[in-house]
Each structure stands twice: as structure tokens, then as C-alpha cells.
Amino acid sequence: MVLLILAKRSNTIVRLWKPPSLWILPCYSRSYSKKLVSYGKRLNEIKLPPKADRSQNILDSTATTQARATKVAKVAQFSDLPVDPQLTSAIENYLLSDLQYAKPSPIQIQMAKETPILLRDKSKHTNAVVLASETGSGKTLAYLIPLIQFLKFTTNSDSDLNISSRKASYRAIILTPVPSLVGQLHDVISGLNIPSLTVAGMSNFVRTNKIKQISRDILCTNPQKFNALMENNPEAFKSVQIVVCDEADTVSFKDAYKTSIQTIRNLSEHLKYMFFCSATIPTSMERHIQQAYPKANRIVSPDLHKLPSRVNFSIIKCSQEFYKNSKIRALIHTIASIKFSNSEHDQVKRILIFANHGSTVSKIVDELKAKGFDTFAVDGSSTTHEEIEHVLESFKNPIGTDVNDAVKIMVSTDILARGIDLKRIKHVILYDVPFSSMELLHRVGRTGRMSIRGNAYLIVDRSDENKPAVKRIRKAAIHHRALI
Ligand SMILES: Nc1ncnc2c1ncn2[C@@H]1O[C@H](COP(=O)(O)OP(=O)(O)OP(=O)(O)O)[C@@H](O)[C@H]1O
């Protein structure tokens, strides 16, 4: 249905009309009359998944056939979980203090219920746990729940593991694929504000020397630095009790990292837990887990590999007359629709755009800047880690921007697609069809995180339209089916 509202100013229309998932097309001159036609067509592209399909468990057809995917009964608050009261209080009073009622997410509930069983295990063998659930479902806290409790309860009991030593030694290692995630993770753990817990976030070599001398409970790092540290100082890893591979499908299954993880397994007599945490489980990862950790415990969400249910997914066809098969035209028009929509009341609207290549990122940035949009870019190839952090910070905190109809745009390659939590991003635009379903899930997953609703738009030109991948994505979005 297309509703035509007439008002003196286009802004009045969009402000009056609240539903965030609808497209608002302001037509304030005759030259815009053509847009109404394409707008009507485009509305047909926006389809919400039917509710009946949401309970379907489609893991059977995927690589994760062994997954234990269960629906979880809701729990009203963290203190109702079998979790150490100091930790629940840290979660509620520090980490999630900006929420009026912090409810644990399903994956956190499952992990919390599994924790006492894991902690009770006194055998010498290493427990492997695969933790897999959709993007933005709170996996970080889910694996921190057993990790912190284990560290807390073993702190002073084992003199070998005393962390007061000046010589570097670590008890838990958390590996994430990119440096920006190391910083994010460090902030989450420090944000818990647990006095006895020491954490080091090492994402660049400058910090290496400092970190070499001081022992820590937790070391967060990325695989390249981890390998360098291992080579320089293998002694420091002798006391490792827990290894977490966050974004496990990228971190743990590349050959270089497999070797390092194997080295830790050989080095540390105390290695008790290995967590593999991911929003996607590719066949190669599944195969590796089956071989290396045949008894792995699997905690898997029934919604794994589906587009997040909180994301309104649309496909925008450039073949429509108005766009003249130009992706840039379709992109600018989409941004204009977001700009005049009422999706974020009294807030700057932040839009994340993904492209497949650095050269496309540069082209998009030039076009958007020429149109006067406030645009940032991170493409990984030419930018240092510090520069990326700086750009992300400016994008997250849009200080000094006039809020009325203001948009801030970040254009990136896959470097921002995994794990990055840009807090309350509501719009993700995929300028290119991603190379794989995994990439699509991670890119789209930057919005619709936790309970926040979001919109994702995939721009396809004539050459993309008939690609099997696009047809598959369309079906998965309509029927809320798993993509992999
Ligand atoms: N119980 C909760 N209630 C509300 N917000 C939460 C809760 N747990 C975590 N969050 C917030 O939800 C967001 C997403 O969490 P997190 O980054 O852990 O998701 P994820 O599953 O690891 O996502 P990805 O797969 O993209 O890495 C974060 O901003 C986090 O602070």
C-alpha cells in the first residue's frame, strides 16, 4: 500500500509518520513525481519474515548437524541465574547500567546454566565449548560468565598460578581477529569493574614491552600479536587455563593460529577450557572441531545463520527506471530516504555502508562527500590501527552535529563487519553483494543488535539480480531461513 500525505513541508510528513520500518519518500517538487513510481515498486521489496517460520530449526541442513539448538526459557534478571553474585552485580551495576532492566539474552542464560556443570568438572582433560549464536546476541558476556567465575574461584588456591609475579604469565587468553575488537573487548572486561581482575588488551607492538613484565588474569589480543608473544616468551603461557577464540571461524582455523593454539595445549599443564565463539560455523570449522575436539560441548542458538529477526531486510534493484542501473544513484536515494525518515528520534542517523573492495570505498566516499554528506571511511589497507580507532570514535560520538535530519556515514570493507559493536546503528547498506553468506550475515549483523531494531539494504544492479546468491538471500529474508 502506498499512502500519499500532503503537507507544506516534506519534513512535517516524515515527522508525523512514526513506523520506522516504512520507507518515507519526501516529494517536494515536480521533478520528484517519478520517484513515487519507483517508491511503490520498492515497497514490494520490503518483506518481513512470516512469524510462523521463526521457530523452524534449519540446522539439520547445515554443517552444524551436531549442534544442540534449543529454545531457552526466559529469565527476568541476571540475579536469577546460577552466577556468582559479585559478577551479576558487576553486570547490572556497571556493564549494563545504562539499561533500566537488564535481562540476560538466551545465549547468556544457556551459558550461565552450563557454567556450574563446567566448573564442577575436576578431571584433567580440557573442556571444549562451541558457543554459536546470531550476531549481536551477547556472546561476549556469555563466555565471560564462566571465564570470570573460574578465574575468581581459582585465584588464590593454586600457588603455581599466582598472578602477583613480576614475570609475565597469563591465565586466560582471548583471541579476536582484528585490533579494534581487542580494544572493544578490553573495554567490556574493564567495564565490569571487578576489583580483583586484571586485564591487558594488546593490539599493537608498542604495548608489548610493558606487558612482557607483568602478569595478568586475562590477555586480550589478536592472533598476529599472540604468535609474536608466544615466540618471544613461551614461559608466559605455561599457566594458561582458558583460551577463548572469539570470531572463531576466522581466528582459530587458519593454519598459523591452529599451530599456536596447539602449542598452548602442549605447553600448559593447566589448560582447562577452550571456547570457540562465533556467529557463523563454516564447514571447515565444524570439521576441525569434530577432529580436534570430538567431545566438544555445543551451545547453539536455533536462529544461527538466519538474518537477525530484528532486522528489516530490503533488496534495492538498480534496474528500476529511476536509478538507471546506477548503484550510486540507488545509494544516494536510500540515504536520502533514511535522512528524512523518523527512524531515530532526535538523534543523528548513523549509516554503515559496506563495499567489497577498498577502491569502491574510496569511490563511494568521494561521491557522498561531493553531495555534502558527513562521511567517514575505514578500509583497512591504508589505515593504521590507531587511525581506525580514532575514526570509529568520531563516528560513535557525533558531537556538535545539528541533530535535525543529520546523517553520519561510515563506509568500510569487511574490516568492520565482524564483532564491532557500533552501539545502536540502525541502518546498514550493502553496496556490493558480499562474497559469501557468512560475510553477509556479519555485515548485516552490525545492526539489529540485542533488542534494537534495524534496517539492512542490499543494492543489486542488473548483473547481480539473477545471481543464485541474491535469490538465496531474498528467500532467506522472506522465510527467515538459515542462509548456510
Ligand atoms: N543482556 C543484555 N541486555 C542488553 N544488552 C546487552 C546484554 N548483553 C550484551 N548486551 C549488549 O549487546 C551488544 C551486543 O553484544 P555482543 O557484542 O556481545 O554480541 P555478539 O553476539 O558477540 O555479536 P557479534 O556476533 O556481532 O560479535 C553489546 O552492546 C552489549 O553491551
Q: pLDDT tens across 278-314, in order?
A: 999 988 888 888 888 899 999 999 889 999 889 999 9
Residue 136 and residue 30 share a domain: no
Q: Tell me, yes or no, whether 56 lies in a domain.
A: no
* Same domain (yes/no): 239, 157: yes
List, in sequence order, every residue forming a beta bridge with 426; answer none if it has no partner. none
Same domain assignment for residues 198 and 333: no
75 C-alpha to ligand 1 centroid (Å): 16
pLDDT of residue 57: 28
The answer to whether position 484 is within a domain reads no
Residue 305 lies in a domain: no
- Indicate if 447 and 319 belong to the same structural domain: yes
Same domain flag for 295 and 323 = no
Specify whether the CB–CB gap between 107 and 70 falls below 8 A: no
Co-location of 279 and 242 in the same domain: yes
Grid cell for residue 286:
565444524
pLDDT of residue 34: 42
Q: Which residues pair with 408 in a beta bridge?
A: 350, 374
Pair (144, 170) in one structural domain: yes
Of 300, 322, 342, the residue at which a domain comes to its end is 300
Do 33 and 88 share a structural domain?
A: no
For residue 8, the CA-to-ligand 1 centroid distance in Å is 42
Give Dmax (Cα) for the chain.
79
3-state secondary structure the chain: CCCCCCCCCHHHHHHHCCCCCCCCCCCCCHHHHHHHHHHHHHHCCCCCCCHHHHHCCCHHHCCCCCCCECCCCCCCCHHHCCCCHHHHHHHHHHHCCCCCCCCCCHHHHHHHHHHHHHHHCCCCCCEEEEEECCCCCCHHHHHHHHHHHHHHHHCCCCHHHCCCCCCCCEEEEEECCCHHHHHHHHHHHHHHCCCCCCEEEECCHHHHHHHHHCCEEEEEECHHHHHHHHHHCHHHHCCCCEEEEECHHHHCCCHHHHHHHHHHHHHCCCCCEEEEEECCCCHHHHHHHHHHCCCCEEEECCCCCECCCCEEEEEEECCCHHHCCCHHHHHHHHHHHHHCCCCCCCCCEEEEEECCCHHHHHHHHHHHHHCCCEEEEECCCCCCHHHHHHHHHHHHCCCCCCCCCCEEEEEECHHHCCCCCCCCCCEEEECCCCCCHHHHHHHHCCCCCCCCCEEEEEEECHHHHCCHHHHHHHHHHHHCCECC
Distance 278 CA to ligand 1 centre (A): 13
280, 300, 320 - which closes a domain: 300
Q: What is the pLDDT of residue 121?
A: 86
pLDDT of residue 421: 92
Do 283 and 328 share a domain, yes or no?
no
Residues with CB under 6 A from ligand 1: 96, 99, 102-105, 108, 135-141, 279, 419, 421, 423, 445, 449-450
> Looking at residue 201, which CATH number applies to its domain?
3.40.50.300
The model's pLDDT over 9-60, given as tens digits with 9 standing for 90+, comes to 544 444 444 333 344 444 333 334 344 334 333 333 333 333 333 322 222 2
- Give the residue ranges of the chain where pLDDT is below 50: 10-68, 156-162, 205-206
Q: Report helix angle 106-120 to 139-154, nearest 10.
A: 20
Question: 300, 329, 355: which is the final residue of a domain?
Answer: 300
For residue 216, the model assigns a pLDDT of: 81
Are 321 and 286 contained in the same domain?
Answer: no
Residue 65 inside a domain? The answer is no
Q: Which atom of ligand 1 is nearest to the CA of 141?
A: 18
Angle between helices 327-339 and 358-370 (to 10 degrees): 60
| Number of domains, the chain | 3
Do both 132 and 223 map to the same domain?
Answer: yes
Model ipTM over 0.90: yes
Select from 93, 96, 99, 392 the residue to mutate for testing ligand 1; criterion: most ligand atoms less than 8 Å from CB.
Answer: 96
137 in any annotated domain? yes
User: Is the residue at 223 inside a domain?
Assistant: yes
Q: Which atom of ligand 1 is nearest to the CA of 137?
A: 21
| CB 307 within 8 Å of CB 340 | no
Domain-located, residue 132: yes
Element holding 433 (H helix, E strand): none
| 72 in any annotated domain | no
Q: Are residues 175 and 267 in the same domain?
A: yes
The atom number, within ligand 1, closest to the CA of 419 reads 27
Give the per-residue pLDDT at 209: 55
Determine the structural domain holding residue 37 and report its residue range. 2-45
pLDDT of residue 51: 34
The CA angle 186-114-71, to the nearest 5 degrees, is: 100
